[in-house]
Amino acid sequence: MDVALSLVDRTRTRVGASDATAIGHTLERAVRAEQLGYDRFWVAEHHGVPGVAGSAPAVLLAVLAGRTTTIRLGSAGVMLPHHQPLVVAEQFATLAAVAPGRVDLGVGRSPGFTAPVRRALRQADTDFATDLVELRAHLEGTAEVTAHPRPAAAVPLFVLATGQGLDVAAALGLPVVVGGPLLRAPEEPLDRYRQAFRPSTQAAQPWVAVSLDVLVADTDAQARELLLPEAWAMARARTTGVFPALEPVSAIGPMTPTQQRYVAQTVAAGVAGTPAVVAEQLAELVARTGAAELVASSSTHDRGALAESDAALAELVSAAASPVPG
């Protein structure tokens, strides 16, 4: 598979460990990803979620820039409804000045996790496409207000897209990162994105990355078991409204029938197995989507097993010559 290979780490907390410990784990994983030859390391934005310590991508990326030297660093993503476009532009222009040529800005439009979180964020009912146009203007230096510092080169923009987000990205000529339910039947939405794509100064052609849970182990059963802590957390979030810290497999359950169904859905949406099984499934996914980059969003309670999975995955995928569209 001639695709770029990246990791996205949401700084998941684990039962019995602090948020600070989770942040330290993210830093360690990024350093290890660089050593393994990954093209990019993404971090995410979540607010008021008990099981996630990653709330400030720009701050975390600044620390990562000081711990790494070659790997690209990106947000997957900054949620524009929570921020003023000028402030986002200033933050990532600053990052680009610190780590020139290594910073990517992925943006999305997901609302806050709960109504209290949305109120705390002063979340505005803004238009995503309008905010995105304004953000790009600030980054390119064409807006009414000039953002500083001025980056030596443009900060690449990516859209975390489902549904309408694909249409916005196509109209603006921006690359997309897709995942979740869209990957169950990606052909029609991605065909629409590619057909409607308008070339821009950043991307002359449509560009797609796909993001999903990928876990590799010695046996298929071991790999599927590694999916369970995250799947159980998702099931609990959907049935109780609380997204918890990761638990060891031995502590999972008992489950209600509804929770069992949610766990099965999450496990089925991931790719897990031996190296041979994972390679075959990822090759099929790349063929169906025409993806230029695979973004593994994997997490599990067992950090040792996660590190081994990251290393095994790095051996399976040949990095593309350039992971950044342009």
- pLDDT of the residue at 321: 37
pLDDT the model gives residue 50: 86
> Is 61 part of a structural domain of the chain?
yes
275-289 vs 187-196: helix axis angle to the nearest 10?
Answer: 40
- At residue 322, the pLDDT reads 44
Strand duo 176-179 + 271-273: pairing = unpaired
Domain-embedded: residue 227 = no
CATH number of the domain that 158 lies in? 3.20.20.30
pLDDT of residue 183: 87
Q: How far apart are alpha carbons 119 and 32 in whole angstroms?
A: 37
Q: Which residues contact 159 (CB under 8 A, 6 or more apart)?
A: 106, 107, 108, 132, 165, 166, 168, 169, 172, 174, 175, 176, 177
- Residue 114 forms part of a structural domain: yes
State the pTM of this model: 0.93
pLDDT value of residue 289:
95
Of residues 70, 71, 101, the one with CA closest to residue 6:
71
Residue 295: per-residue pLDDT? 97
**Residue 261 belongs to some domain of the structure:** no
pLDDT digits (tens, 9 = 90+) for 257-273: 999 999 999 999 999 99
pLDDT score at 72: 97
Q: What is the pLDDT of residue 162?
A: 77
Q: Is residue 253 part of a domain?
A: no
Establish if 80 belongs to a structural domain: yes
Residue numbers of the chain with a pLDDT score lower than 50: 319-324, 326
Classify residue 232: in a domain, yes or no: no
Total structural domains in the chain? 1
- For residue 110, being part of any structural domain is answered with yes
> pLDDT value at position 320?
39
CB distance 237 to 243 below 8 Å: yes
Q: Compute the distance between CA of residue 52 and CA of residue 62 in angstroms, rounded to an integer.
A: 19
Parent domain of 44: 4-214+273-316
